[in-house]
Amino acid sequence: MSLPAKDSRSLLLEKLRRFSRPASPLSEPPPKNDTAQPGRAPQIAVREAVNEETISQLAQELKRLGAELRYVAGLENLSAAILQLGRESHYKRIAVGADPILKEANLATGLQNFQDFKLILSDRTPTPANQIREALSKCQLGITGCDAVIAETATMVLSHAGFGGRSISLLPECHVVVAYRAQVFISLDDWMNSQSFTRATLPSCTTFITGPSRTADIEKVLVTGVHGPLRLVLMLVQGGD
Amino acid sequence: MITGPIKFKEAARRNLAAQDLRENLRRATSHSTTLRLKAVSAVPEWEDLRSEAHAIKKEAIDHLAEYLERFESQATEAGCKVYWAETASQAAEYVVNVCRQKGASLVVKAKSMTSEEMELNTALEGASIQPVETDLGEFIVQLAGETPSHITAPALHKSRTQIGKLFSEKLGMNFSDDPKELTRAARAILREKFMDAGIGITGVNFAVAETGSLVLITNEGNGRMCTTLPRTHIALMGIEKVIPRFDDLRVFLKLLARSSTGQKLTSYVTILNGPREARETDGPEELHVVILDNGRSQLLAHPHTREALYCIRCGACLNVCPVYQRVGGHSYGWVYPGPIGSVITPELQGISQAQELPFASSLCGHCSAVCPVKIDLHHMLLWLRKSAVDSALTSRGERWIIKLFAATMKRPGLYRWSGMLGWMVQRILAPRGKGLRVPCWSAGRDFPPLPKKSFHQLWEEGEIN
Amino acid sequence: MRIHLFVPCLVDQFYPGVAVAMCRVLKKLGVEYAYLTDQTCCGQPAFNSGYHREATELAERFLKVFEPAETVVAPSGSCVSMVKIFYPQLELSPAGKRTLERLGPRLFEFSDFLVRELRVVDVGAQFRGKVTYHDSCHLLRELKIEEQPRQLIRNVHGLEFVEMDDMQTCCGFGGTFAVKFPEISTAMGTDKAAAIERTGADAVVANDSSCLMQIAGILSRRKSRVVPMHLAELLAQGI
Ligand code: SF4
């Protein structure tokens, strides 16, 4: 493949420089220490004291988006909650990510009796990518944790590195996000203020999920469930602080 | 590439007469403007956000070379391969080459107006590579063999019945005009394509210089599919997509979805930093970023229209434009319709190719009032009109009329005399108490009758006290 | 207070009644007015068509004619914005620039002059009937005048005010746009007329004779019973 890559690059930059202003101190992004946090471990943000008002705003917003909210009294009740959801909706195949919160809930044991098929992902098993994806595409339920939940917009922040990847929250029919109550932030600003974003700390993929996938491409009629999940459930676990 | 000057007037007349198109446009644009207004009114600091976004874009565009280089180095550091293309065909060639090199025969695409500029689908097909549009609207448009008529809602010109017919014809399914059923059908077909495709191609909403991040704003999840399943991801961006800092996203995320669909946030905001890492189980192994100029750098040189590069492609200016609402996107002759199209098409394709566009506006200014980055669109149209006149692109007849007009207005005596002359002509030609029949006016409207005496006469005769 | 009238060419030639009505209202309010008889056109048609050379000549002329004036009032948002917003974009002579700098801030659109300068919202007018108001684009978006006309209309005795759908949507006139793209222009005007008729109003009021020319032209073609009226004409009712 022979491409004139360098040529078009320098030609283009030359053109741009002609009409760009010269560098000014203002234009330098504020210096960030790229090596401050080695590795790209996703930062699990944990915040204290979330009040009832915030939670009820979150509930309202989720409802508006056509997403669901279920409260779970404690981590020990999580598998029961998931089993119930599975039974209600006749889901037969389930995939569980390798997020710490899910491991801690010991879902591997808790979901033992799940109907037909369960796929417990681990960040250590080097399963070939295409096998995982085939399996995930057949699952009706995909369970993940998240970095944070934003009440104002009912957004869940997921950084996918390692914990079952990007597919588990995308391919199954229904995506269940498990979060501690203490992971709820009031606004996106609020959450962003608690983080530092540098090239070194940002994982390869971060997704803000706000409701199930949707479209209005046909006569502006809102249809939920296009390519991504048809259904989105947030399981909010008491505690975490 | 457009071949020969865009014939807006002709196309507009045709589209204006198509009743079903009018209805489809009316329904879609009024729906979007209502949702937008509701979402925007709920944000008290809206005007401040607009100013802030304008300032950030100004900073980015003022130092474009620097920020793009910074983006390039950060993205490269994260493992991306960055390619700079001066022209659309260079960019298309690069993409085709990557596909060939990967041995891909199937490509899944998320919505990207930049790829429309590149006429990428034609280029891929020419190389025996099948491109599949996966955004529902784009999928519909591709099935119909058309081009998008709106930058965020590509199939807005079609009704559910038309789409139902199209699906039953092209996909062999039973006719249905239920949007949900049609959407599910597309989901099933495209799910397989996602699984099989070797390459995913997407656009880019924001490219962050500070961190080398690519930000994608989507609703359907097809953007996520394209950046999760295929082994190679190619992201296409115009040079104007760069923003300085990660933190700037706060502002744009608040503005974009509200302006475009009236949502607080779209279903998905995807932030990509390089391809997958070794320990990850999915995501592309290679991530190519194509930075496209295609005439944009010329805009930099034009002080009056330079700010058009601030555009974040929200589509709000199209939705509120009374002209777009009636003639639809295809009348504008190239990729970008509506007010922003009328500004950038003449700039990117040359004013001589699109000289009718700047005039196709009543200058109502609604576009500028809604633009989330405060682009002064309708005033830019005025500058482009000047540039059409300066390049002698307006008709000889018009130039003559304007000269005559100015000459008359410079001579009060002549001005008054022509007023009286008009009144006399009217007395002879028009029925009593009625106005004249005036070409280019009277087909659908009555022309006002000239009064016997002008204000000037009344004043001179002392009838005003 | 003493002002100079700026009577745009369209008003002078087609709608002198609008300027006469404006004079009547001003007189009632004790404002003295003078009229510089050499005035013609502000140059907007040339400017909007892209002919800056011709527009500049007419702008220079306008500024020279209005040199003696201190405060100027015009019954048109469009022509006022031409002077206030667009003249500064032209390459004017130093003398022209000086006059513009002095006069610009003292040039008022009629409703704005009454409400913000004279601080009058009730001129004592009377009108029996239902009235709706169309926001002219230049008035609304260039000059940001939205409330003033509404306040004045609401305070007319015996009048019932009603807003129409999409009151801030363009009527489709747009200067030369109306003749360059007559089909689109008429389609816009037709929707506007329909919105006006849906209110059941007896009269539709606007602040720009150009919009009224379009609206009236369409209403008359539709044989509508709604009467188009300039704000000045409404405010002169019964005084
Ligand atoms: S010009 Fe402004 S309103 Fe129009 S698409 Fe671009 S950002 Fe949106």
- Residue A130 pLDDT > 80, yes or no? no
B257-272 pLDDT, tens per residue?
999 999 999 999 999 9
Task: Give CATH for domain C121-235.
Answer: 3.40.50
Contact A218, B182 (CB under 8 A): yes
B343 CA to centre of ligand 1 in angstroms: 11
ipTM of the complex: 0.96
Tokens for A110, please give them. 């808790």
Whether residue A106 lies inside any domain: the answer is yes
Whether residue A57 lies inside any domain: the answer is yes
Give the C-alpha separation, A151 to B174, whole Å: 42
What is the tally of helices (H) and strands (E) in chain B? 21, 10
- B43-294: which CATH architecture? 3-Layer(aba) Sandwich (3.40)
Residue of A nearest to B281 (CA): A129
What is the tally of helices (H) and strands (E) in chain A? 7, 12
Contacts of B257 (CB under 8 A, 6+ apart): B39, B217, B263, B264, B265, B266
Q: What is the mean pLDDT of chain A?
A: 83
- Residues of chain C with Cβ-Cβ distance to B412 below 8 Å are 37-40
Residue B230 confidence class, pLDDT cut points 50, 70, 90:
very high
Report which protein residue has its CA nearest ligand 1's atom 6. Answer: B311
Residue B58 confidence class, pLDDT cut points 50, 70, 90:
very high
Question: Quick count: other Cβ atoms within 10 Å of Cβ C157?
Answer: 12
Q: What percent of chain A stands above pLDDT 90? A: 56
Average pLDDT of the residues in C115-140: 97
- Kindly list the domain boundaries of chain C, sorted by start residue: 2-115, 121-235
Task: Compute and round to an integer the Cα radius of gyration of chain A.
Answer: 21
B residues 265-304 closer than 8 Å to A (CB): 265-277, 279-283, 291, 293, 297, 300-301
Domain count, chain A: 1
- Residue B242 pLDDT > 50, yes or no? yes
pLDDT at A4: 52
Contact B122, A43 (CB under 8 A): no
Whether residue A14 lies inside any domain: the answer is no
- Residue C24 pLDDT > 80, yes or no? yes
- Residues of chain C with Cβ-Cβ distance to B390 below 8 Å are 50
Residue of A nearest to B59 (CA): A27
- The vertex-C126 CA angle with C123 and C130, nearest 5°, equals 115
Q: In what order do the strands lie in the sheet with A231-237?
A: A68-72, A231-237, A174-180, A141-144, A93-96, A117-120
- Least CB–CB distance from C16: residue in B362, B443, B455: B455
**Do A207 and B291 make contact, defined as CB atoms within 8 angstroms?**
no
**Do B90 and A30 make contact, defined as CB atoms within 8 angstroms?**
no
A40-50 pLDDT, tens per residue?
344 455 554 67
- Residues of chain A with Cβ-Cβ distance to B276 below 8 Å are 204-205
Give the C-alpha separation, B270 to B227, whole Å: 9
Report which protein residue has its CA nearest ligand 1's atom 4. Answer: B317
Can you list the alpha helix ranges (DSSP code H) found in A66-118? 78-88, 100-104, 107-110
Residue of B nearest to A128 (CA): B281
Among A164-173, B218-227, B388-397, the range scoring the smallest mean pLDDT is A164-173
- Least CB–CB distance from C20: residue in B359, B447, B464: B464
Tokens for A78, please give them. 């999580």
Give the C-alpha separation, B150 to B330, whole Å: 9
Give the C-alpha separation, B417 to B137, whole Å: 59
Can you list the alpha helix ranges (DSSP code H) found in B172-315? 179-196, 222-226, 249-260, 296-301
Among B202-206, B439-443, C72-76, the range scoring the smallest mean pLDDT is B439-443
Residues with beta carbon inside 6 Å of ligand 1?
B 311-317, 340, 370-373, 375, 377
Give the C-alpha separation, B103 to B96, whole Å: 10
- Residue A159 pLDDT > 60, yes or no? yes
- How many cross-chain Cβ pairs, B to C, lie less than 8 Å apart? 182
Chain centroid to Cα B104, Å, comes to 31
Q: Which of B445, B446, B460 to mutate to test the interface with C (most CBs of C within 10 A)?
A: B445
Quote the minimal CA–CA distance from C19 to chain B in Å.
7
Burial call B66-79: b when 16+ CB within 10 Å, e when fewer: bbbbbbbebbeebb
- Least CB–CB distance from A207: residue in B158, B244, B270: B270
Among A103-117, A217-231, B87-101, B149-163, the range scoring the smallest mean pLDDT is A103-117
- The vertex-A137 CA angle with A132 and A139, nearest 5°, equals 95
Percent of residues in chain A assigned helix, strand, coil, to nearest 5: 30, 20, 45
Give the C-alpha separation, B401 to B422, whole Å: 16
pLDDT at A137: 86
- Residues of chain A with Cβ-Cβ distance to B158 below 8 Å are 218
pLDDT at A127: 62
Q: Which SS3 state, helix, strand or coil, does residue C227 take?
A: strand
Give the C-alpha separation, B60 to C171, whole Å: 37
- Least CB–CB distance from B410: residue in C57, C172, C216: C57
**Do B300 and A40 make contact, defined as CB atoms within 8 angstroms?**
no
pTM, full prediction:
0.94
Give the C-alpha separation, B140 to B171, whole Å: 11
**Do A213 and B220 make contact, defined as CB atoms within 8 angstroms?**
yes
- Residue B144 pLDDT > 70, yes or no? yes
pLDDT at A241: 66
Contacts of B113 (CB under 8 A, 6+ apart): B148, B151, B203, B313, B335, B336
Average pLDDT of the residues in B187-191: 96
Q: In what order do the strands lie in the sheet with C107-109?
A: C32-35, C2-5, C72-74, C107-109
With an 8 Å CB cutoff and a minimum of 3 pairs, decide whether chains A and C touch.
Answer: no
Average pLDDT of the residues in B127-153: 97
A48 vs C106, residue with greater confidence:
C106
Q: What percent of chain B stands above pLDDT 70? A: 100
Average pLDDT of the residues in C109-116: 98
Contact C10, C213 (CB under 8 A): yes
Residue A108 confidence class, pLDDT cut points 50, 70, 90:
confident
Tokens for C146, please give them. 């939205």
Classify strands B232-238 and A214-215 as parallel, antiparallel or unpaired. unpaired
- Residues of chain B with Cβ-Cβ distance to A21 below 8 Å are 62-63
In chain A the first and final C-alpha atoms are separated, in Å, by 55
Does B30 contact A at CB distance below 8 Å?
no
Give the C-alpha separation, C226 to C101, whole Å: 41
pLDDT at A124: 56
Can you list the alpha helix ranges (DSSP code H) found in B289-411? 296-301, 316-320, 324-327, 338-349, 366-370, 377-390, 396-409
A181-226 pLDDT, tens per residue?
999 999 999 999 999 999 999 999 999 999 999 999 999 999 999 9
- Kindly list the domain boundaries of chain B, sorted by start residue: 43-294, 396-460
Contacts of B181 (CB under 8 A, 6+ apart): none
Does B347 contact A at CB distance below 8 Å?
no
Contact C17, C10 (CB under 8 A): no
pLDDT at A26: 43
pLDDT at A44: 52
From B321, B347, B373, B379, mutation site for ligand 1 pocket: most ligand atoms within 8 A of C-beta: B373
Do C121-235 and C2-115 have the same topology in CATH? yes
pLDDT at A115: 67
Q: What percent of chain C stands above pLDDT 70? A: 100
pLDDT at B238: 97
Query: Which chains does chain C touch, 3 or more C-beta pairs < 8 A?
Result: B
Report which protein residue has its CA nearest ligand 1's atom 3. Answer: B371
Which CATH number is A154's domain given?
Answer: 3.40.50.10420
B residues 372-401 closer than 8 Å to A (CB): none
Residue C239 confidence class, pLDDT cut points 50, 70, 90:
confident
Percent of residues in chain B assigned helix, strand, coil, to nearest 5: 55, 10, 35
Give the C-alpha separation, B414 to C59, whole Å: 18
Average pLDDT of the residues in C104-115: 98
Among A88-97, B29-38, B126-135, C191-200, the range scoring the smallest mean pLDDT is A88-97
Fold type of domain C2-115? Rossmann fold (3.40.50)
Residue of B nearest to A188 (CA): B250
Among A197-206, B180-189, B276-285, B367-376, the range scoring the smallest mean pLDDT is B276-285
